[in-house]
Amino acid sequence: MKDDRVIVRRGYVLIVNEDADGNYIKFEVQSRSFTVRKYINVAMLILLCSLLHRNMNRISHLLRLPQEYHTHFQVISMVLCCLVFKDKTVDSLSIIKNYGIQTTKIGGLSILPYGVNKALFTQHEFIPRYTVVDLVINEGFFKGFQVVFYLAVIIRDINELKLLFMSNPIKLDDQRLIYQMSRNYLCEEGNGSE
């Protein structure tokens, strides 16, 4: 296995993992502030929980909550706070030669370690090679007539493009790199795309 190639940009990190035998390639994009944001969210959660605990008498008086429900209210409040503080999504694109494309999104809660989030909140989508028409860099318009570029997969018999890396938009230069490196895995030798 080749070493990972790490490309650090202003707002994100692109990690390229390529098999030495040329059987697969994986592109992973995560926010550059992924770890820092996780610590900030956990600190904010602890602060909110301590403020809630400290001011429980005032809150229960305002809500007219009986004393026996204080603990239930605190637990429910803490769970709701945990659900509010989510991790940034990590997007990845894996291309397995002659088999197809797999897209992965890993979300989760800031309070949980990355491994637990990966086990509980990972979403995979596999697109078989025979349904992949092409991988393209498309141009679109955003609010205020701003031009944006995005990677997309054209899938046979589906009217919509499968957009890639939408949680972590990446620069056009990196999209070109992903496109060029992916061509070796998507196209059979000498045939080009179907």
pLDDT in tens, 13-65: 899 998 888 888 999 998 877 667 777 777 777 787 777 777 777 777 777 77
pLDDT in tens, 58-112: 777 777 777 777 777 777 777 777 777 777 788 999 999 888 999 999 888 777 7
How far apart CA 71 and CA 94 sit, in angstroms, is 46
Q: What are the angstrom distances between the C-alpha of 105 and each of 108, 118, 153, 166?
A: 10, 9, 16, 10
How far apart CA 45 and CA 20 sit, in angstroms, is 43
Locus of tokens 């046979």: 156
Query: Which of 33, 13, 10, 15 lies closest to 25 in space, CA to CA?
Result: 15
How far apart CA 25 and CA 20 sit, in angstroms, is 9
